[in-house]
Structure 1
Amino acid sequence: MNRESRTALSLVGVVVVMGALAWAAVPFYDWFCRVTGFAGTTQISETAPDEVLDEMVRVRFDANVDSNLDWTFRPMQARMDLKIGENGLAFYEAVNNSDVPITGTASYNVAPEVAGFYFDKIQCFCFTEQTLQPGERMEMPVSFYVDPAIVKDRDAGWVRDITLSYTFHRTEPKQAALDSARTETIN
């Protein structure tokens, strides 16, 4: 193999490796954030812990809507004070202000970011896409707790105020995407 061929093959190899790393970056970052709570990513839990501390935490609620989603979205309570380890249940309200059905998916995080590892959701509307019919109003619950282990964490032990923030983004309904893909395959 001559020098030019080796160089060309090496460059193709570099491009393939860079493409593979770029493709893997998003799922790896998502996994990393879920495991570590990095960037305020919350945790998912099956049940609340057995231990409830006598220390209080204040959870504030925030709601945002992407500019291409014609919804009104707001928390139904501004804040909630609960004991660390106690299960909380909060509600958000969404209204479709358009004259067509719209599907949305919520992204979420908490602030300060260091609290993300200790903020656990048991049930949340953000786990699935939501479709609202024209003019439809929906109350959406989120069940959560703050893990008692937070008080022993050197970096997060001081946190007693947490903001839970959601942003709704417009998405194509999964079934419509599947039907569209089937139609394209048939044609």
Structure 2
Amino acid sequence: MSATGRCSVTDPNAIPRAAHHRRTALAVFGMAVVMLGLAYAAVPLYRVFCRATGYGGTPQVATAAPAARGARTLNVRFDANVAPGLPWKFEPETPEMTVRTGQTVTVFFKVRSTAARDTAANAQYNITPDIGGFYFNKIACFCFDEQHLGPNETAELPVVFFLDPKLEADPTMADVQSLTLSYTFFAAKAGATAAKAAANAAPDATPPRKL
């Protein structure tokens, strides 16, 4: 009995209910953390998937050209774009060319900064039509690295690629006569640019070719 003369009765289910609510709250919190982690991981995983499969017109990355050339030829067009806010001029030196499957080709893009300060950017790329991305193989490309330009500086940016002869056996490529390789430069984030600049300061860093 309490000091007020009233009986104090404890609900026997109160403690189990409180423990249940705590477990539920922890489960919800844990699920939120997992979903947040998956959201951050989704972008790089999606990029890896695209590069591995050519999904969305993403070109493949190769270490060497095929041993033999194929029989087909296709017209390859080159498209260059700059995102708003980046003070660069960007264009292909060769707008288009005819390429035989299995043939290793080197093309150059010219980029020029119109800014009075140092700038940096990353290039995103794709192939159209999308199915062509699975057979478009890059051996070397400026798009693999962040690009830096000084005030009013100009540079030549190379791309080395080939069209996989396996496309000749793909019925979905039978009516495809031309492909377009498209690039868009986006301004690099400040933090990433600083990290890249520090890496480039290492003794074994190879500076980009400037004009």
TM-score above 0.5: yes
Identity of aligned residues (%): 41
Deviation at 1:20, TM superposition (A): 2.1
1:5-154 correspondence to structure 2 within 5 Å: 5-154=22-171
Q: Secondary structure at the match of 1:80?
A: strand
Distance 2:76 2:193 in 1: 35
- Residues 9, 175 of structure 1: CA spacing in aligned structure 2 closer, same or farther, 3 A cutoff? closer
TM-score, L = length of structure 2: 0.79
Does structure 2 conserve the Cα–Cα contact (< 8 Å) formed by 1:129 and 1:173?
Answer: no
Does structure 2 conserve the Cα–Cα contact (< 8 Å) formed by 1:77 and 1:91?
Answer: yes
Distance 2:166 2:44 in 1: 27
1:176 counterpart (194, 197, 201)? 194
- Residues 114, 122 of structure 1: CA spacing in aligned structure 2 closer, same or farther, 3 A cutoff? same
Which is bigger in relative contact order (C-alpha 8 A, separation at least 6)? 1
Distance 2:191 2:161 in 1: 27
How many residue pairs get aligned? The number is 180
Distance 2:70 2:170 in 1: 15
Q: Secondary structure at the match of 1:72?
A: strand
Distance 1:69 1:37 in 2: 28
Mind listing any 5+ residue stretches in structure 1 that lack a counterpart? 181-187
Match of 2:175, as an amino acid?
W
Deviation at 1:160, TM superposition (A): 2.4
Q: Secondary structure at the match of 1:17?
A: helix
2:172 aligned with 1:158, yes or no?
no
Q: Secondary structure at the match of 1:122?
A: strand
Distance 1:175 1:32 in 2: 25
Higher Rg of the two aligned structures: 2
Kindly provide the CA deviation profile for residues 63-86 of structure 1, in whole angstroms up to 9, marking residues without a partner as x.
Answer: 000111100000111101011110
Deviation at 1:175, TM superposition (A): 6.2
- Structure holding more strand per residue: 1
Match of 2:160, as an amino acid?
S
The match for 2:208 is none
Deviation at 1:103, TM superposition (A): 1.0
